Structure 1
Amino acid sequence: MQSVVHHLRQLHSLGPASNDHLSAWRVAISVAVPSLVLLLLGRPDLTIYAVFGALTGMYGRNEPHQLRLKHQLQAALVLLSGVTVGVVLSVNGLHSWWLVGIEALLAGVGSLYSDKVHLRPNGPFFGILALGACASVPVAVPWYAALLIAVGSAAFSILVGFGGWVRGRAWKPGAARPSASLRGALRRRAAIHASRHVLAVGAAGAIGVLSGSGHPHWAMAAAAVPLAGADLPSSVHRGIHRIMGTFLGLVV
């Protein structure tokens, strides 16, 4: 009983503060500015591409500027790949099982890449979320225009993330390279992690298609969320947060 109460408390508890307000402002500005520009231009329908590019700002939140720049460039590659594949699927009318197969495969590839370059937040969640969401909506502009919007938004996000360097101009080295034995262990762990993503995302997508919901990408994105957890309790907490957040969003 005490264990259950402990886990229930952890669901709504916050860790120690670590300049979280700065990270939050960076993400808010990165998302708000491109979105407002599109709104002023009378094209709110294109906001989806700007937002997924802007989510680059989610990465490297408390890292030194040099390492944050590196990780945000790597994260932008993940996000822009998801947008690109999603737009291509949408333009060519490839949905249902095509979407499930391609997204499951790229979930595994994204997991391997994320683990290799040590991205935080961990895993391919935002990349496959971008893929599924962009594949599910018709492209109202030429495909390259949608991609350029995402690229511009990601570039602005990286600029915001690096902007603090102007104040301090401290160029700190990045993360240390692990030993050869540790690299071998990390590769094995990454392979297992990637296989879990392929199986979980693929199974969730198949259930989404067979259920006739019309939104298999929601199921696939949800399946990837718990896999970023370091252990079983954190995986369960992430899953519950995802479910609660989704329902609150639907209510709004």
Structure 2
Amino acid sequence: MKSVRALDLEVASRASIAVVVPLVVLVLLGRIDWAAYASFGAMTSLYGRSEPYRIRARTVSVAAAFMLVSVAAGLVMSVAEATLPALVLGLLLVITAGILLASTYGLFPGTPIFFVFAYLVCAQVPAPVDEMLPRLLVAVASAALAWLLTMSGWAFRRLVGDRFGDLFKELPRTPLLRPAAFRDVQVWLTILQHQVGVLLAGGLALFVGIGHPY
């Protein structure tokens, strides 16, 4: 089994590349204003750490899909110039779905924090309707790159002579599927705690007037 330090270094390296490459491309294209979408797509690389590749593929795919759903939801809110109640309703839905997914698929981090950031930041960034699809495609491309980087170790190990590329080897973390997580009272209590927490924090931010309710 690889040391935790070595595994952490792998994760940090992949995440760095996943973020830097799309941002460099955007700088070269003169569209650094699209950086938020690239960054949230790249956050896909934070999932699946220390998991066997056969399970990691599932974990990262689930995380990437919902990250893109969160970005898309934020974009819709931005284009529609949604009211605060609509934004809050969307936030509560993102939190609920994010925790249910994390509980069902054993995602780590197990909180919906990155999905929440993706939704709220993208909802706050002004976006013209004709740029909605290109901005979403930036997130899709960034997430795809992050997915490939996260799974790249398997191909690399195959190239250097490991027949299975660590496909079945023991690694520190092996999340289990919990198809019945939606029936767990503790899961719904966690959802309720998150919802109350963000509503209190957002309400306080609006009351103080710091300009950053998300």
TM-score with structure 1 setting the length: 0.72
What CA distance in whole angstroms lies between the structure 1 residues aligned with 2:181 and 2:44? 29
- 1:30-85, CA deviations, whole angstroms, 9 ceiling, x for partnerless residues? 11111101111111111110010000000111111121111111111221111111
Does the 8 Å CA contact 1:104/1:199 hold for their aligned counterparts? no
Select which of 160, 168, 193 maps to 1:172: 168
What is the 5 A alignment of 1:2-81?
Answer: 17-81=5-69
What CA distance in whole angstroms lies between the structure 2 residues aligned with 1:107 and 1:184? 15
Counterpart position of 2:98:
110
Does the 8 Å CA contact 1:97/1:209 hold for their aligned counterparts? no
Answering whether residue 112 of structure 2 is matched by residue 124 of structure 1, we say: yes
Counterpart position of 2:84:
96
SS at match of 1:163: helix
Across the aligned residues of Structure 1 and Structure 2, the Cα RMSD in angstroms comes to: 2.3
SS at match of 2:5: coil
> Which stretches in structure 2 are left out of the alignment for 5+ residues?
159-163
Shift of 1:201: 1.3
What CA distance in whole angstroms lies between the structure 2 residues aligned with 1:113 and 1:74? 8
Inter-CA distance 108–185: structure 2 relative to 1 (3 Å threshold): closer
Structure 1 runs (4+) deviating above 4 angstroms are 173-178, 183-186
- 1:80-117, CA deviations, whole angstroms, 9 ceiling, x for partnerless residues? 11111111111111143332232133212211221111
What CA distance in whole angstroms lies between the structure 1 residues aligned with 2:145 and 2:202? 33
Select which of 123, 139, 147 maps to 1:158: 147
TM-score with structure 2 setting the length: 0.84
Inter-CA distance 55–120: structure 2 relative to 1 (3 Å threshold): same
User: What amino acid sits opposite 2:54 in the alignment?
Assistant: Q
Shift of 1:185: 10
Counterpart position of 2:161:
none
Counterpart position of 1:210:
207
Counterpart position of 1:239:
none
> Which stretches in structure 1 are left out of the alignment for 5+ residues?
1-15, 218-252
User: What amino acid sits opposite 1:121 in the alignment?
Assistant: P
User: Which has the bigger relative contact order, CA under 8 A and spacing at least 6?
Assistant: 2
Answering whether residue 198 of structure 2 is matched by residue 201 of structure 1, we say: yes
Counterpart position of 1:227:
none
Counterpart position of 1:133:
121
What CA distance in whole angstroms lies between the structure 2 residues aligned with 1:185 and 1:97? 26
What CA distance in whole angstroms lies between the structure 2 residues aligned with 1:210 and 1:148? 36
